């Protein structure tokens, strides 16, 4: 009975589903593999915290969400406080960031309506416990259009699917997911690909140079899904006012190489070994996202490293204030401060991109 039960369970696994699909129609795109894997993963669990698979900045310390709340309050006030407005979070996790940010905003006299864009049934249930008055959306299309939006997206873009190309002696080919010795594995597609077209058709001089000089074996990533999300946000900001923060790990200049990774129980694992059982992510190309935002009509205020940005907002002073009120927590606060801002921690790898309506002022911590 044990063997039969195991076989039935394996037949229903995403690995088995992919294997049957590949046998029927051929290798899958990395984007298809990533999208289906993450849909299964997020809809079946709470992945956050020590008992989950990873920890995000809001779970590290209340300081993170509080400073975002202050940033939103500041830019809202300097824009003339166009009331009423909407607080929107894309992929809000447990709702921790929203809790801390909204607490600060309400103390400053702001009471925005709360909207969460969340596809996970499991996470929606947790968010509802902390934010019973929030409204949930499957995507950005149903967000209200009657007032400015204050949008926060922390570790949202990194989970959206990417496409990959690989340079071969015969030119660029798509990197796909096929079967090798009975296991899911990356394979090279047969169809010739135009790298510039695959990257969205708009190629900067720096990216064009990378494509032209790429050696055999080089991998080029793009994320049309991320670009679509940023474009949708930019168009909303341009049309109805507001500002947005995108916070994620990534790079501010185009580069070669695969950044696809899988995390399970706080450890990196084989990205193809356990689809639907590990968190799949890829680094965000913030240079491409900035171009996309401007093309959508938003003002790009800049992209900063998370550490310097948080220090510009006063995280050091906030840590000192919390330490004075809770001396026993000094070591914990210092550890959280280092994790959020340290060069060897999240401070350098994570970036913060600010967008706004063209008529709105520059946000704190950004040069434009």
63 and 190 fall within a common domain: no
| pLDDT tens per residue, range 290-345 | 999 999 999 999 999 999 999 999 999 999 999 999 999 999 999 999 999 999 99
Q: What is the mean pLDDT of residues 78-91?
A: 91
Total number of domains in the chain: 2
Domain edge (last residue) among 178, 205, 221: 221
Apex 323 CA angle, 321 and 326, nearest 5? 115
pTM of the model: 0.92
CATH, residue 101:
3.40.50.12710
Strand spans (E) along 181-333: 183-192, 219-222, 242-251, 261-264, 267-269, 279-281, 284-285, 299-305
Do the Cβ atoms of 296 and 238 come closer than 8 Å? yes
Q: Alpha-carbon distance 78 to 72, whole Å?
A: 10
91 and 113 fall within a common domain: yes
Mean pLDDT of the chain: 91
Q: Alpha-carbon distance 47 to 122, whole Å?
A: 10
| pLDDT tens per residue, range 250-300 | 999 989 999 999 998 878 899 999 999 899 999 999 999 999 999 999 999
186 and 306 fall within a common domain: no
Run of H or E residues at 177: strand 171-180
pLDDT at residue 8 tops 50? no
Domain that holds residue 182: 2-44+161-221
**DSSP character string of 150-162:** EEEEES-GGGS--
Q: Alpha-carbon distance 270 to 263, whole Å?
A: 8
142 and 87 fall within a common domain: yes
Q: Alpha-carbon distance 211 to 200, whole Å?
A: 13
Apex 306 CA angle, 305 and 311, nearest 5? 105
**Plot region of 201 (φ>0 → left; ψ -120 to 50 → alpha; else → beta):** left
| Structure token pair of residue 139 | 């995507």
188 and 304 fall within a common domain: no
Q: Which residues contact 94 (CB under 8 A, 6 or more apart)?
A: 46, 48, 49, 59, 123, 126, 127, 130
Q: What is the mean pLDDT of residues 214-237?
A: 96
129 and 170 fall within a common domain: no
Q: What is the mean pLDDT of residues 347-363?
A: 97
Structural domain includes residue 325: yes
């Amino acid at each position: 009975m044990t063997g039969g039960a195991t076989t039935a369970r394996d037949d229903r696994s995403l690995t088995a589903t992919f294997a049957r699909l590949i046998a029927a129609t051929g290798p899958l795109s990395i984007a298809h593999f990533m999208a289906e894997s993450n849909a299964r993963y997020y809809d079946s669990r709470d992945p956050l915290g020590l008992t989950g698979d990873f920890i995000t900045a809001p779970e590290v310390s209340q300081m993170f969400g509080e400073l975002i709340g202050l940033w939103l309050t500041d830019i809202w006030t300097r824009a003339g406080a166009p009331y009423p407005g909407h607080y929107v979070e894309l992929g809000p996790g447990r709702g921790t960031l929203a809790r801390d940010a909204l607490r600060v905003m309400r103390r400053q006299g702001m009471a925005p309506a709360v909207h969460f864009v969340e596809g996970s049934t499991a996470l929606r249930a947790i968010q509802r416990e902390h934010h019973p008055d929030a409204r949930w959306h499957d995507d950005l299309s149903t967000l209200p259009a009657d007032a400015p939006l204050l949008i926060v997206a922390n570790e949202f873009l990194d989970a959206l699917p990417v496409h990959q190309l690989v340079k071969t002696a015969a030119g660029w080919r798509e990197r796909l997911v096929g079967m090798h010795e009975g296991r899911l594995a990356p394979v090279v597609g047969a169809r010739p690909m135009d790298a510039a077209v695959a990257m969205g058709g708009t190629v900067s001089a720096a990216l064009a140079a990378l494509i032209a000089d790429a050696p055999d074996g080089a991998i080029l990533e793009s994320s049309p899904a991320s670009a679509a999300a940023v474009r949708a946000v930019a168009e909303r900001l341009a049309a109805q006012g507001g500002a947005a923060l995108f916070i994620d790990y990534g790079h501010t200049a185009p580069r070669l190489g695969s950044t696809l990774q899988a995390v399970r129980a706080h450890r990196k694992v084989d990205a193809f070994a356990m689809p639907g059982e590990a968190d799949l992510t890829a680094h965000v190309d913030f240079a491409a996202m900035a171009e996309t935002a401007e093309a959508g009509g938003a003002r790009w205020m800049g992209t900063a490293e998370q550490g310097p940005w948080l220090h510009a907002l006063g995280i050091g002073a906030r840590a000192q204030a919390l330490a004075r009120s809770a001396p026993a927590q000094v070591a914990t606060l210092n550890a959280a401060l280092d994790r959020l801002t340290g060069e060897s921690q999240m401070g350098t790898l994570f970036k913060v991109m600010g967008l706004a309506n063209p008529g709105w002022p520059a946000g704190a911590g950004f040069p434009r």
